[in-house]
Every structure is written in structure tokens, then in C-alpha cells.
Amino acid sequence: MTPARTRIVRAPRGAERTAKSWGAEAAKRMLMNNLDPEVAEHPEDLVVYGGTGKAARSWEAFDAIVRTLDELEPDETLLVQSGKPVGVFRTHEWAPRVLIANSNLVGDWATWPEFRRLEQLGLTMYGQMTAGSWIYIGTQGILQGTYETFAAVARSLDPSTGSGTGEGSGTGKGTGTGKGTGTGKGTGTGKGTGTGKDTGSGKGTGSGSLAGTLTLTGGAGGMGGAQPLAVTLNEGAVLVVDVDESRLARRVEHGYLDEYTQNLDDAVARVMAAKDAGEPLSVGVVGNAADVFPELLRRQHAGEVAVDIVTDQTSAHDPLAYLPSEIAFADWKAEAARDPEGFTVKARASMARHVGAMVGFQDAGAAVFDYGNSIRREAELGGCERAFAFPGFVPAYIRPLFAEGRGPFRWVALSGDPEDIAKTDRAVAELFPDDAPLRRWLEKAGQTVHFEGLPARICWLGYKERHLAGLKFNEMVASGELAGPIVIGRDHLDSGSVASPYRETEAMADGSDAIADWPLLNALLNTASGAAWVSIHHGGGVGIGRSIHAGQVTVADGTALAAEKLERVLTNDPGTGVMRHVDAGYERAAEVARERGLNVPMMTPRP
């Protein structure tokens, strides 16, 4: 086995395969793509994103997975237990080639200390969402959702575009310790409290812009790194704080960040000049958000800076992945390993100051929201009594889309040819000619998005839409228009595939925030529908003890069998999102179910 430090992993390209089916070949290539140095945060440690989200438990396990996928028969299924291949069984050609379970623990044992004990024994790993399910595509993976969220913020701040948020704020508190990385998205205002009901589709019908506004956020890792580009695509100025200079440098190199500096005064001067000129600009500053946010709040009160929007995407989900103010960056890993419990206490105290400043910005009139990294709960554990004064982004902006089964639809060109993505971009735009926001996104993405690893694209599509794109891609592979098969997947952050009371299912209308049956049903249905690989994870996005979620991936290889599988999976998967929101009492979901023929046996009849 090659030593980890010298090992470079890149997925094979082209239309030739070494595995015995495209389902197995696609799983192998996407596992390898997750660890491509262009994609992964720390590939030498098998860490893909989110501080500790891994693709495989060990290099030995990685090698065994790759070897087994190459040997796997078209009617066999590989089982992977938290990053380790544990069995191969004969199933049938409609069954998934891989079934994955990551980080799952029994309730009373679902805590960070217990998880870390088991991890140190080599018995589990943290799979995040798309790290351990082999469908991470780099920062682009959450860029469009971030872009759309910031667009919603822009509309909410522009009186001419109408108003009305998705839901309100408020959430249950829950217990346990946190983890996960979230999806690094945009910002939001959403100042209300309570759970509220579905109020329509977003924040009005205008086309608001963030020109003339300044956004403050923290975190430029695999998730948070999407935020600066999402803001500038919406014509705003943004200041991004990160303790790790290498992350900021990487975002500049890949086109997600315009520039960065180690001097806060310089950074503030640059973004304020851009704000005053109404010009888009993203500036990173090296610093600890627990120190920088309070300092900027002081300057806000003194009239030295004018921040309009505040969010955060630091790795607050895991206290060991958040650097306390009093610990030097160079000592981070050593201190976390030496005294995890003491480090956690210090990290939570720093998060309390960080979130306290965010609350202060809200009190001063800024639009403030949590972007799904569990920082409010961690800050509350650190002593911030008003940690939940501002809402999460899903109830504030995204829930109406989830009610329609809309969510992150992503695809990857196994050929490695960027032209395959350009062709599929055009095909999706032609399939949905009346969806102006979708067409606008595809145009902007084609112009600005830097591919990391295998060429890929993401866009948000809904129930009775995703399968149309999948079938079209399959036709293009069959005709030879594309140079190779297309992998189709999604984030676990989707309308029917996750239970996460601090993020996706925060403030559900019926109070069902913590009901975890839904993602399990989603995984079971995708397995029965013909997905190429299916995964069930615990703790992604927000931390151990705080979420259960599922993923699925399909492959368009140009065959008739693939077309049958694509139609079923890509219809049924988002259909579970509509079903889940019908059950929770969202009228828009019931309308979609009736309009598009979804059978929900106990749905209330049309009024």
C-alpha cells in the first residue's frame, strides 16, 4: 500500500471501464474523485470536506473497495460499513451495486465522545453527507443553493420585489453534542419566530440585487467556500473570515474568492469601497471569527463599517473543528488531540462570542441567519442565551421549494470532458424553457464555475422534472453525443431525504422536526427503484446526534435498463419530499401532489 503522504488519487476518465458494470465503475470513479487533490480538503487523510468528513475509513479500506468494485459482478452488491467494505452478496441487476451506512449509532450512544472512542478503535468513520457516499463535486456542489438563497435575501431587502419569507424562525433545542458541515449556503433575513406555515414560493417575484450591500460571513472550506462567489453573482460585496489562510488561497485559485489579506483594516476598506460603489467584490481576511465578528460589531456601532447581512459557515458542527480564540492555529490539531473535552469547552465559549456578535448585528438591523452548521446550538452550550434569536436558512427561505420536491440535482461527466457538461447544460435549459431562474443559473455557472476533479454541474429541479433530465442524458450517451456516461446524484440536503431539526427540518409546521422515518423510507424506496448506490448516514451537516439522512446515485450509461431505472429513481426520490411535506400539512405540497399525480393515501381532499 502506498504511503498516504505520497499518494495522489484521481478518477479514470473516458468511456472504457475496468469494472464489470457501469454501476460499479461509476461508484469507483466517484470514490476516487472525492479524494482528488482538486476536490478534497485533506486527501492524504481521506478527508473530503467539513473538517473530518471522510470517503473511506483507511487507505487499506479504500484499496479494498476499489479492488472489490472492479471484481463485482453485475448482479452483486457490495456493503460498506462506515468506510470499510464488509461483504459482497448476490442480488440482481436492478439492485444497487453498493449499499452504504455511515456513522450510525444507537440513540443513547449518539454523542461526540462515544463516536470518537469508536473511531479511535477503528470501528467507524464520519461520512458527512456526500463524502462517505461518494458524490461530492467540490464547492460547486452547494453553489447554486447558496446563490438562490442570496437571491432570496436580495428580494427580501428590496421593497419593490415584494416580501414574505418561507416560514419564520424558532427551533427545538434538543440535546447532544454537534457535528456535520452543512452545505455552505447563502444568507437570509427571516426575523420572525414560531414555526409558521408554508406561505408561497420564496420572497416575492422581483429580481432583487445585492448591489450596494455588504455581507459578513465566516468559513471558506469546502462548504463555506461557495459563499463569496454566490454573493458576487448576486452583485454584492462580501467579507469572509477564516483562520486557515490555505483555504482562502484555494478559493482565490479556483475563482470562488476575488482576493484575501491578513489585515482587517485593509479588508474592511476594500469591501466598503465596493459597497459604496455598488460593485461586486469578495474579500477574505485571515482571522478567527470569534474575534473578528465582535470587532466588526464594535465598528458597526461606531459607524466605521456598515454590514447588511450576516451568516456563517465555519465548521462549528464539530467543536474540535472550530479553533478557540486562545489557541494558535499551529497548535490546533495537537491541542484537540491532547484534551478533546477541554478543547470543546473552549471552542463553545468562542462560538458563544461569535454568535453573540451575530445577534448583535441583528439587533442593529442586519439580516442574520444560521446556514446549517449547528453553531447556534454549540453557542448555546457555550453560554450564549440568545443563540436562537435568528433563524436557520431553510425555514427562512428554502422550505417552500422543498414542499414542491425541488432540491439539488447534480451530474458528473465520467468522460472527464468539460464539453459533456456544456452539452448537458444546454439540454437542461431546453427541457425547461419557462424556468428563467434555472436558465440564468446555467448561463452564469457556465461562465464562472471552475471544475474541481471530474467536470460536474448542479441545478435545482423538482418532482416530475429530474427524471426528464436523466432520460435526456441517457439518450445523449446512447447516441454518442456525449463522450461517456453521466453520474446523477444529489446532496443529502434535499426535500425528503433528511431529518435535521437544526437545519432541513427546523420548525416544521406540524412539529415533526426530529422524526427520522422519512430519510429511511427515502433510502428504502431508492433501493427498490434501481439506484446504482444508496447510503444512510448519521450526523452530517449538523453533528452526531442531530441528523439522519440518505443519498442516492444513478448512472446514465445509454442502455434501456438505465432509462427504466432513471425514470423510477428520479421520479420517486423527489416524490418523497412532496409526500413528507404533505404529511406535515403544507398546502403547496398537497397542490403539487394533486397536480402531478402523487398518491398520498391520507391526504386531505381538495378544499
Predicted confidence (pLDDT) per residue in 544-560, tens digit: 999 999 999 999 999 99
Q: What angle (nearest 5°) sits at the alpha carbon of residue 361, between those of residues 357 and 367?
A: 130
Determine the 3-state secondary structure of 74 from DSSP. coil
Look at residue 174 in the predicted model and tell me its pLDDT: 37
Residues 110-118 have a mean pLDDT of: 96
Banded pLDDT at 3 (limits 50, 70, 90): very low
Using the predicted structure, report yes or no on whether residue 255 has a pLDDT greater than 50: yes
Banded pLDDT at 249 (limits 50, 70, 90): very high
Banded pLDDT at 45 (limits 50, 70, 90): very high
Helix ranges (H only) for 235-374 are 245-253, 264-277, 289-301, 332-338, 340-363
How do residues 287-300 score in pLDDT, each as one tens digit? 999 999 999 999 99
Residues 11-23 have a mean pLDDT of: 97
More confident residue, 27 or 192: 27
CB 334 within 8 A of CB 393: no
Residues 566-578 have a mean pLDDT of: 98
Determine the 3-state secondary structure of 413 from DSSP. strand
Using the predicted structure, report yes or no on whether residue 417 has a pLDDT greater than 90: yes
CB 455 within 8 A of CB 416: yes
474 contacts: CB under 8 Å, gap ≥ 6: 486, 556, 557, 558, 559, 562, 563, 566
How do residues 487-545 score in pLDDT, each as one tens digit? 999 999 999 999 999 999 999 999 999 999 999 999 999 999 999 999 999 999 899 99
Residues 360-379 have a mean pLDDT of: 95
Task: Read off the DSSP letter of residue 79.
Answer: E
Banded pLDDT at 184 (limits 50, 70, 90): very low
Are β-strands 486-489 and 53-54 bridged in parallel, bridged antiparallel, or unpaired? unpaired
Banded pLDDT at 151 (limits 50, 70, 90): confident
Banded pLDDT at 51 (limits 50, 70, 90): confident
Residues 230-240 have a mean pLDDT of: 96
Please give the positions annotated as active site.
Answer: 459
Using the predicted structure, report yes or no on whether residue 175 has a pLDDT greater than 60: no
Look at residue 480 in the predicted model and tell me its pLDDT: 98
Look at residue 242 in the predicted model and tell me its pLDDT: 97
**How far apart (Å, rounded) are the C-alpha atoms in residues 270 and 237?**
9
Look at residue 77 in the predicted model and tell me its pLDDT: 98
CB 583 within 8 A of CB 575: no
385 contacts: CB under 8 Å, gap ≥ 6: none
Look at residue 607 in the predicted model and tell me its pLDDT: 64
Lowest mean pLDDT among 15-19, 164-168, 427-431, 468-472: 164-168
Look at residue 171 in the predicted model and tell me its pLDDT: 38
C-alpha cell at 430: 431546453
pTM comes to 0.86
Percent of the chain with pLDDT strictly greater than 90: 82
